[in-house]
Amino acid sequence: MSVYEVVAVRYATRRAWKSGLYHRFESYGEPDTEASLDYYFWLVRDGPKAILIDTGFDPDVGERRGRTLLCEPREAMRRAGLSIENVAQVIITHFHYDHVGNIDAFPNAELLVPQRELDFWTSPPAGRAQFAEHVEPAEIARLEAACGSGRGRALSGEETIAPGLTAITVGGHSPGQLVLLVETARGLVVLASDAVHFYEELELDRPFAIIADLADMYRGYDLLRELQRDRQAIVVPGHDPGVMARFPSLGGAEEGIGVRVA
């Protein structure tokens, strides 16, 4: 079985109120406080072969939405040691704008996307305000075209992508939200992406504010806790600033760009 290296790269950030980050925050009876939400993508490496998990937001889209770019995603990839030509596969965890920009930078990579995301984001409810706010129509069209052209492949249920690398569709935050299970020298790493934005969601059982299906979101939390308990899995949430503190920084000039999870 392959033993992968896993790197988390932080490319952007924003400040927000907890009342805007958690579903029905007022129900907890706590004072509202400010928090940071960071933006990441992830690299999974097996020797020279690299798999990119999500592609960050398009810098113009991020600017329009008022996000603070720390480093353009393509530059951040380079600084984290990724040469774009070596990316064999790009796995998209869900179709929200901050996970699917910059796809054009990888014309030769195989694109793996959740089938339920493809189905949902090309269906009528996706055009309603509470869903549409989180995606860019041009990016959805690009993903759809890539899959139609044979460059993309859709993932359903639980699928082994390569030995030691498994994708599970959990839904919740977005209808086809994926989590990735990666075997590493440190044991099992779970790249939760936005199945869990913040560690607090798991620790306090507090759903994030943006929800497609609340029951699925809770089931996703249960699955991750099970993996923590039964397999001592290292869970990496999708937007928590704490990720940068919990793992060793990429050395040298890359200080601050990312961390080596395993």
Residues near Zn ion, by CB under 5 A: 98, 194
Query: In this complex, which beta carbon is closest to Zn ion, that of residue 77 or of residue 183?
Result: 77
Nearest to 139 by CA among 112, 103, 87, 89: 103
Shortest CB 201 distance to Zn ion, Å: 13
Q: E-assigned strands of 62-201?
A: 68-69, 87-91, 110-114, 152-155, 158-162, 165-169, 178-184, 187-193
| Minimum distance from residue 74 beta carbon to Zn ion (Å) | 18
Contact (CB, 8 A) for 92 and 113: yes
Shortest Cβ 101–Zn ion spacing (Å): 11
Query: If residue 202 lies in a helix (H) or strand (E), which one and from where to where?
Result: helix 199-204
Query: Nearer to Zn ion by C-beta: 194 or 200?
Result: 194
Cα separation of 153 and 134, whole Å?
23
Given the complex with Zn ion, which of 6 and 183 has the nearer CB atom? 6
Minimum CB distance to Zn ion smaller for 47 or for 66: 66
Which is it for the CA torsion 112, 116, 121, 122, positive or negative? positive
Q: Which is nearer to Zn ion, 89 or 177 (CB)?
A: 177
Compute the least distance from the CB of residue 146 to Zn ion, in Å.
20
Least distance from Zn ion to the Cβ atom of residue 185, Å: 28
- Residue for token digits 């890359």? 254
Cα distances (Å, whole numbers) of residue 178 to 159, 168, 204? 11, 5, 22
